[in-house]
Amino acid sequence: MTCDACARHVQHALEAVPGVAYAEVPDWRAGQARVRAAGEVTDALLVGAVQEAGYRAAVRERKSLEEVPRAEEGEAVDLVVIGGGSAGFAAAIRGAELGARVVLVERGVMGGTCVNVGCVPSKALIRAVEAYHEASTHRFEGISTAAGSLHWHRVMRHKDELVAELRREKYMEVLAAYPGIRYVQGQARLRPDGTVQVDGAVFRPHRIVVATGSRPWAPPIPGLEEAGYLTSNEAVNLRELPRSLVVIGASAVGLELAQVYLRAGSQVTVLEALPRVVPLEEPEVGEALRGYLEEEGMVVRPAVRITRVERSAGRYRVAFTEAEREEQVVEAEQLLVATGRRPNTAGLGLEEAGVSLGLKGEVRVNEFAQTTNPAVYAAGDCTGDPMFVYVAAHMGTVAAENALNGNHRTVDLEVLPRITFTDPQVASAGWTEAQARERGLDVKTVVVALGHLSRARVARDVRGLIKLVADRNTDRLLGASILAAEAGEAIQTAVLAIRERYTTQELAGLIFPYLTLVEGLKLAAQAFEKDPARLSCCAG
């Protein structure tokens, strides 16, 4: 045997022998298999099965069951995947494609965070209220529109229908298309002997992929737990539109939901502990986005320290301080806490099974998505940041391949696109200016206002900017940030340019389609050498 696939083939060959109750090849490197079989199963039958599979074999030792220490019973399978979200489904599907017998375990609702309480419902609400908001925004002379009425319960019902539809189409029906995957509902727990217990059932897998996702996390603010609060899970399912809302946290989730409720008619105040909104993005982006949100009526208070939360008579009172000023209080009907997420790793028996966890409960993995237990891999949010659904799917696929075929593929997060679905959107890739400087690089940057871009001018929406970061010595593009309506549709061009090590001159020399947002990347690249105000609108 030369790899894990060989071990799996040998195992399957032995299991196919009539009278064999259990077969296992723990590690192909050892070149050994363990078999539990009825007495009438001869050495010749076992050796012949392995030879028919294309391998040499000999029976090394044979004992009666009375001589063998009794192990825990369990159904032998190739792969147990724990978690039925994006990472888990990607791992299970890849396992099935490789011919493995896969057990997919989910304790909650199939589909995980993204389709049920994350990406899909939040973006559906964003688009709904965007249409409502646009109807009352008059950018073009000679055209008059009105927002009309908003029926929140119908908006929510429409969103729920989409969630159910996508959960059925993209999870349930997809699962049915892979007969090699068995779906099991229940709570999984790893046991020190290598088995996985799911409620009353026990499985003995060749390998395990942990893909249990994450949950919203709240900081230890005095009074917060007693008062109660919404997380993003509840905010996308709120049946009554609140007249007022306080949001703690001004990163992607907090700002996206804050703008949803603002545009739907709530009075919204956002509190953020760090000095600006979207604090991990470029400062120019954060400052500009804050201004656009405030123009819509949102109250944004960065650099605050929340001192306590109280609730009485159906209203929240959130006390905070900023700089050296006295304590202030903001009141609202609802309170949303959007301060990050933590991995779902409690109660799985991970540490008892030899799987090391980090300070936030994240599963520690190497570049192959393998944990400190060589038989256990992990993927997605349970491994910590970055918690994006597309990262989870990528990791799930890599984890399954490596678990079944040996560690041959690494998790590639070298140039990762990031999008905040506010309006305007924030999209970025590569390093920010600060990150590049932290790495000791001598950098040059350029910031171009969207007003220089013809696409923005004809759309009568010049909100936004584009910032590029490049190595001053090599001219290599290191990072890109776009603040614009539909910025997410343009960022992948920057991802490819950074990944392929383009210089800004090479980017500027490409032919881009005119009157598109992505053309702004060319304009910004040209701005390293030329004043964009002195460039013709459609001349390269």
Nearest CA to 293 out of 269, 261, 259, 260 is that of 259
**Section 210-226 average pLDDT:** 98
Q: What are phi and psi of 499, to 5 degrees?
A: -65, -40
Torsion angle in degrees (nearest 10) through CA of 412, 428, 458, 144: 110
pLDDT of 150 > 60? The answer is yes
Per-residue pLDDT at 195:
97
pLDDT in tens, 126-142: 999 999 999 999 999 99
Dihedral sign for Cα atoms in the order 242, 247, 253, 258: positive
Per-residue pLDDT at 200:
87
422, 472: one domain: yes
**Identified catalytic residue from 172, 390, 514, 537:** 537
17, 123: one domain: no
211, 359: one domain: yes
**Identified catalytic residue from 55, 229, 261, 377:** 55
Helix (H, G, I), strand (E, B) or coil at 364: coil
Per-residue pLDDT at 470:
98
87, 25: one domain: no
Nearest CA to 285 out of 484, 130, 471, 451 is that of 484
Task: Give the C-alpha separation, 158 to 163, whole Å.
Answer: 9
The two tokens of residue 153 are 């319960």
Per-residue pLDDT at 71:
37
Lowest mean pLDDT among 61-75, 209-223, 413-427: 61-75
Q: What's CA 489's distance to the chain center, in Å?
A: 18
Kindly state the helix (H) or strand (E) to which residue 197 belongs, with its residue range: strand 196-198
Per-residue pLDDT at 24:
67
30, 111: one domain: no
- How far from 237 is each of 21, 234, 331, CA to CA, in Å? 49, 5, 22
**Identified catalytic residue from 1, 382, 387, 395:** 1
What DSSP designation does 343 have?
Answer: E
Instruction: Assess if residue 410 is contained within a domain.
Output: no
* Domain edge (last residue) among 304, 319, 339: 339
| Paired sense of beta strands 214-216 and 244-248, if any | unpaired
Task: Give the C-alpha separation, 20 to 349, whole Å.
Answer: 30
- How far from 203 is each of 59, 353, 361, CA to CA, in Å? 26, 15, 25
* Domain edge (last residue) among 42, 70, 98: 70
**Identified catalytic residue from 114, 156, 382, 395:** 114
523, 423: one domain: yes
Instruction: Assess if residue 83 is contained within a domain.
Output: yes
Nearest CA to 284 out of 522, 423, 445 is that of 445
Residues in the chain: 540
Max alpha carbon distance in the chain (Å)?
A: 92
pLDDT of 320 > 50? The answer is yes
The two tokens of residue 348 are 């799985």
Query: For residue 306, what pLDDT band results from cuts at 50, 70 and 90?
Result: very high
Average pLDDT, the chain: 93
pLDDT of 398 > 60? The answer is yes
What DSSP designation does 76 have?
Answer: E
pLDDT in tens, 457-503: 999 999 999 999 999 999 999 999 999 999 999 999 999 999 999 99
The two tokens of residue 214 are 């994450």
Per-residue pLDDT at 241:
98
Instruction: Assess if residue 540 is contained within a domain.
Output: no
Per-residue pLDDT at 21:
60
Instruction: Assess if residue 368 is contained within a domain.
Output: yes
pLDDT in tens, 284-293: 999 999 999 9
Per-residue pLDDT at 28:
55
205, 347: one domain: yes
250, 323: one domain: yes
pLDDT of 405 > 60? The answer is yes
* Domain edge (last residue) among 307, 339, 371: 339
Instruction: Assess if residue 491 is contained within a domain.
Output: yes
Query: Are the C-beta atoms of 98 and 404 separated by less than 8 Å?
Result: yes
Say what percent of the chain tops pLDDT 90. Answer: 84
For residue 22, indicate whether it is catalytic: no
Query: Are the C-beta atoms of 25 and 7 separated by less than 8 Å?
Result: yes
What range defines the domain where residue 435 resides? 418-534
197, 98: one domain: yes
Per-residue pLDDT at 206:
97
Instruction: Assess if residue 14 is contained within a domain.
Output: yes
Number of domains the chain contains: 4
pLDDT of 55 > 60? The answer is yes
pLDDT in tens, 327-341: 999 999 999 999 999
Q: What is the CATH number of the domain that holds 324?
A: 3.50.50.60
The two tokens of residue 425 are 């959107």
Per-residue pLDDT at 73:
67
Rg (CA), the chain: 28
Query: For residue 22, what pLDDT band results from cuts at 50, 70 and 90?
Result: low
What DSSP designation does 195 have?
Answer: -
pLDDT in tens, 67-104: 433 334 689 999 999 999 999 999 999 999 999 999 99
pTM as predicted: 0.85
For residue 382, indicate whether it is catalytic: no
User: CA 454, 457, 461 angle in degrees (round to 5)?
Assistant: 130
197, 136: one domain: yes
Q: Per DSSP, what are the bridge partners of residue 370?
A: 377
351, 209: one domain: yes
Q: What is the CATH number of the domain that holds 45?
A: 3.30.70.100
pLDDT of 300 > 60? The answer is yes
pLDDT of 20 > 90? The answer is no
Task: Give the C-alpha separation, 23 to 320, whole Å.
Answer: 63
Instruction: Assess if residue 412 is contained within a domain.
Output: no
Amino acid 366 reads: N
**Section 200-222 average pLDDT:** 97
Say what percent of the chain tops pLDDT 70. Answer: 94
Instruction: Assess if residue 472 is contained within a domain.
Output: yes
pLDDT in tens, 158-176: 999 999 999 999 999 999 9
211, 87: one domain: yes
Q: What are phi and psi of 127, to 5 degrees?
A: -65, -35
Q: What is the CATH number of the domain that holds 527?
A: 3.30.390.30
**Identified catalytic residue from 6, 110, 298, 382:** 6
